[in-house]
Structure 1
């Protein structure tokens, strides 16, 4: 697991075996390459494991961590403006790339990347969990308050509404099995015959943020259904996210206490913290709009010109599906008249 100096020369550590600990990939080594404008790649994972590599760009343009994604996993979202996570295609592999647009933070970013890599390579964690634990660990150390953005709170509210509806059809155990978004898989729900991507907004328009070129791509052989939910502030008749979580947990625990503990674990992975302020009440504005992903405007890897592959750093975009007609086909689960738990 040595470094490959892509400039053709040898650099510090190029002949040694390294892991993902900072002592084995010291900043002085990285700084050497950056200072000379040389590119290098350090494989941090074993040869028989999915690729985790530390990348130094040529021209001193920065550093990144590449993590190979499973067939149905997606790159997690970053809540930090100084950390970007996007999905790229490299040598036939789907990879998540962690990078920073802040060159003045490269030294600290180096330590963060190695901390994430440690959790993946040595603890066997998923990228999403490794990144989440690293960020929250550093935040706790610095005394920062954890919290979910409005987008994530609304998103969790919508997913709980769909989870409850799915459970009515297939039971809570199978519904929790199907709720794969918190575990870092490509889409929010993986039902027996299809996948679901849930997007929830508080705006009047059905305008949703899509994170990455892979979020609306179908897994081969599995149709992907896109569900647009609109919530509005509900006053005293609305539901807080805490109330929806409690109602869902109570319903799950009534069937099986162990399933309730599993639900709590999924919530924690989603970023939910019961101690954070939660006084916003929501209610559905109207019924959901359900579309086959292939029937809606979207960007995927298939849309990227060949000349742009490897040169587009990050893609987040908004799609407005207001006024589109729902796909006229049999849905994998009945989502009509969806309500909050």
Structure 2
């Protein structure tokens, strides 16, 4: 166990010796190292003779923030983004604007946003309000264009590959690939021999998962449906990227049969995996997955709606919290205890 967990450390401070930095740089891998170890850290981005601009990592992995000193009559601007908050704090006799996010699963993208804002302040000499406004507007043209898989889907694929690898360890890769039916458009992720299995993965403290549609937690006639809740946390240097997991399962499948590796490639393409996507987030399991029968958890199905309502409702998405639920002793169709990422 790291004896320094929860302490505050300082990053190496290039800004102290850089009078006119050409760009603001702070690799995500460095930030993730501190997040994964639960250590707080502070990195000054501005020169020592300039108003303070610093990148902050809260202890215990509570998140990241940008601190910008407010000089003269400057005030903290308001944020037009629901996931980004800008408030004012006092620290060391300085008035600071603090930029934070309420979405822990978006820390990687928020990190890029903070550096883009800081670069406009430190390098271009802009005030926080203008730097933040230009960054948001500069990114707005890109927001409508897909950046590969969404964060939710990337975490979900991590979990499905972990379950796929565990299944293959039991029945072999050819049979395991037969069970992974989610990529082919089936309602549930896995069709095991005796049951169906829906897999959801989250990076939140609680087991909160988004359910898409009325059929995702509906049992097929004659087949029990089980729900697997996986929780991941930042893994730092010892964690696994999604690319690591993809390579591990593909190598394992191809080792059994080269054709199986090609078949797995097709399934990965079907779910939108692209090896060229940015991929520097490292994850590790927080604990063993929770496995419960879908009938024993909060859910919405077509049978729960009044007669005729299904034909008039186009889309149903909702978030369910299964924290603390149990399977009531029913034997699951697959042992997922101590499930590692591939």
Band the TM-score falls in, shorter-chain normalisation: 0.5 to 0.7
Distance 2:322 2:255 in 1: 38
**Structure 1 segments of 4+ aligned residues over 4 angstroms from their partners:** 143-146
How far does residue 308 in structure 1 lie from its aligned partner after superposition? 2.6
Partner of 2:192: 191
How far does residue 330 in structure 1 lie from its aligned partner after superposition? 1.6
Structure 1 unaligned blocks of 5 or more? 1-142
Q: Is the CA contact (8 Å cut-off) linking 2:296 and 2:327 kept in structure 1?
A: no
1:69-80 counterparts in 2 under 5 A?
A: none
Partner of 1:179: 180
Structure 2 unaligned blocks of 5 or more? 1-143
Q: Is the CA contact (8 Å cut-off) linking 2:284 and 2:341 kept in structure 1?
A: yes
SS in structure 2 of the partner of residue 310 of structure 1: helix
1:100-249 counterparts in 2 under 5 A?
A: 146-249=147-250
Partner of 2:261: 260
Q: What do the CA deviations read for 1:37-85 (whole angstroms, capped 9, x no partner)? A: xxxxxxxxxxxxxxxxxxxxxxxxxxxxxxxxxxxxxxxxxxxxxxxxx
Q: Is the CA contact (8 Å cut-off) linking 1:200 and 1:230 kept in structure 2?
A: yes
Q: What do the CA deviations read for 1:147-195 (whole angstroms, capped 9, x no partner)? A: 0000000000000000000011110000000000000001000011110
Rate the CA distance shift 1:327–1:272 in 2: closer, same or farther, 3 A: farther
How far does residue 307 in structure 1 lie from its aligned partner after superposition? 5.0
SS in structure 2 of the partner of residue 232 of structure 1: strand
How far does residue 144 in structure 1 lie from its aligned partner after superposition? 5.4
Q: Is the CA contact (8 Å cut-off) linking 1:148 and 1:271 kept in structure 2?
A: yes
1:31-42 counterparts in 2 under 5 A?
A: none
SS in structure 1 of the partner of residue 312 of structure 2: coil
How far does residue 331 in structure 1 lie from its aligned partner after superposition? 1.4
Partner of 1:291: 292
Distance 1:175 1:325 in 2: 26
| Residue-pair matches, total | 199
1:44-83 counterparts in 2 under 5 A?
A: none
How far does residue 315 in structure 1 lie from its aligned partner after superposition? 0.7
TM superposition score normalised by structure 1 = 0.57
How far does residue 313 in structure 1 lie from its aligned partner after superposition? 2.4
TM superposition score normalised by structure 2 = 0.57
How far does residue 339 in structure 1 lie from its aligned partner after superposition? 0.5
Distance 2:280 2:308 in 1: 49
Distance 1:323 1:334 in 2: 19
Q: In terms of Rg, which structure is larger?
A: 2
How far does residue 145 in structure 1 lie from its aligned partner after superposition? 5.9
How far does residue 204 in structure 1 lie from its aligned partner after superposition? 0.4
How far does residue 146 in structure 1 lie from its aligned partner after superposition? 4.8
How far does residue 323 in structure 1 lie from its aligned partner after superposition? 1.0
